[in-house]
Structure 1
Amino acid sequence: MRVRKFRTTLAVAAVAVVTSLLASACSGGGAATSDGGKVTLRYWAWAPGSAKEVAEFNRTHPNIRVVHTDAGGGEQSSAKLLAAMRADNAPDLALVENTALPRMIVAGAPLDITDYVSDVRKNYSPGSWAQTTFGGRTYALPQDVGPMALLYRKDVFDRYGVKAPVTWEDYRKAAATIKARNPKLTMASLSTDGWGWYAAVAAQAGDDWWSVHGDTWTVGIDGAHSRTMMDFFQGMYEDGLIAADPILTPTYNQQLNNGTMLSWPSAVWAPGVVYGVAPKTAGKWALAPLPRWNADDPTVSFQGGSSVVVTSKSSHPEEAAEFAKWLNAGDQGAKMILNVQNGYPAALSGQKAATSQKPPALMPEQSDYYKVVAGIAKHTRPVTWGPNTDVAATAFTDAMNAAVHNGSSWADVLTVTQKAVVNDLKKQGFKVSEG
Structure 2
Amino acid sequence: MSIYIPGRVRMAVGLSGMTRRNFLKSAAAVGAASLAAPAVVRAQSGVTLRFLNNETSVASQAALKKACDDYESKFGVKIIVDSSPISGTMQKVMAAVAAGQPYDIMTSGFIAGILEYIHAGAIVPVTDLVKKYDWGKKAAWEYQGENWYYPFDYNLVVNYYRKDLYAQKGLKIPETWDDFLKNCQALTVVNGGNVDVGGCVIPLASDSSTNWASFGNMFAEGAELFDKDWNVVFDQGENADRATRFLDFYGELYKTMPPGMNAVSYAQLMSLFATGKAAHSVYSGRLVEALETTNPELADKYGIFPSPGSTGQKALSYAFDGFCVGKSNQSEEAIKFLQWFAEEHYVDWLLSAWMNNHPARLDIYENERWKSHPMIKKHWNTMMTMKSYIEGDNIKIMAIDTSGPSIDMRACNVFNANVMPEMLQQKVLGNASSADCVAATAQRIRSVI
TM-score by length of 2: 0.72
8 Å Cα contact 2:427/2:433 also seen in 1:
yes
Q: Is the partner of 2:85 in helix, strand or coil?
A: coil
Instruction: Find out whether 1:228 has 2:239 as its counterpart.
Output: no
Q: Is the partner of 2:151 in helix, strand or coil?
A: strand
Q: CA RMSD in A?
A: 3.7
Instruction: Find out whether 1:292 has 2:304 as its counterpart.
Output: no
Q: CA deviation at 1:402?
A: 4.2
Question: 281, 284, 306: which one pairs with 1:267?
Answer: 284
**Aligned counterpart, 1:318:** 332
Deviations 1:73-108 (A, max 9, x none): 13x111221122122121011112224222332233
Q: CA deviation at 1:17?
A: 4.7
Q: CA deviation at 1:416?
A: 3.7
Equivalent residues in 2 for 1:1-80, closer than 5 Å: 17=10, 20-21=12-13, 24-27=14-17, 37-47=45-55, 48=57, 49-60=60-71, 61-62=74-75, 64-74=77-87, 76-80=88-92
Q: Is the partner of 1:129 in helix, strand or coil?
A: coil
Question: 192, 213, 220: which one pairs with 2:204?
Answer: 192
Q: Percent identity?
A: 16
| Bigger mean CA deviation after superposition, 149-158 or 183-192 | 183-192
Question: 157, 161, 177: which one pairs with 2:166?
Answer: 157
- Structure 1: which amino acid aligns with 2:85? G
Equivalent residues in 2 for 1:145-184, closer than 5 Å: 145-179=154-188, 184=196
**Aligned counterpart, 1:348:** 362
Gap runs ≥5 in structure 1:
1-13, 29-33, 426-435
Q: Is the partner of 2:212 in helix, strand or coil?
A: helix
- Structure 2: which amino acid aligns with 1:230? L
Q: 1:419 to 1:392 in 2, by over 3 A?
A: farther
**Aligned counterpart, 1:123:** 134
C-alpha separation in 1, matches of 2:187 and 2:431: 25
Question: 102, 106, 115: which one pairs with 1:90?
Answer: 102
8 Å Cα contact 1:257/1:281 also seen in 2:
no
**Aligned counterpart, 1:388:** 413
8 Å Cα contact 2:197/2:279 also seen in 1:
yes
Deviations 1:110-134 (A, max 9, x none): 22333x42532x331241112xx22
C-alpha separation in 1, matches of 2:310 and 2:429: 31
C-alpha separation in 1, matches of 2:214 and 2:439: 14
8 Å Cα contact 1:112/1:138 also seen in 2:
yes
Instruction: Find out whether 1:279 has 2:295 as its counterpart.
Output: yes
Q: Is the partner of 1:134 in helix, strand or coil?
A: coil
- Structure 2: which amino acid aligns with 1:288? I
- Structure 1: which amino acid aligns with 2:203? S
**Aligned counterpart, 1:137:** 146
Deviations 1:348-391 (A, max 9, x none): 23344455543479xx5x55232222223324625344342564
C-alpha separation in 2, matches of 1:407 and 1:336: 49
Q: CA deviation at 1:320?
A: 1.6
| Bigger mean CA deviation after superposition, 227-236 or 413-422 | 413-422
8 Å Cα contact 2:190/2:196 also seen in 1:
no
8 Å Cα contact 1:150/1:288 also seen in 2:
yes
8 Å Cα contact 2:105/2:326 also seen in 1:
yes
**Aligned counterpart, 2:115:** 102
Equivalent residues in 2 for 1:241-256, closer than 5 Å: 244-247=261-264, 255-256=272-273
Q: 1:245 to 1:161 in 2, by over 3 A?
A: farther
- Structure 1: which amino acid aligns with 2:316? V
Q: CA deviation at 1:165?
A: 2.3
Deviations 1:14-42 (A, max 9, x none): 9x956x33xx22448xxxxx997443221
Q: 1:126 to 1:17 in 2, by over 3 A?
A: same
**Aligned counterpart, 2:383:** 370
- Structure 1: which amino acid aligns with 2:284? A
Question: 397, 406, 420: which one pairs with 2:430?
Answer: 406
TM-score by length of 1: 0.74
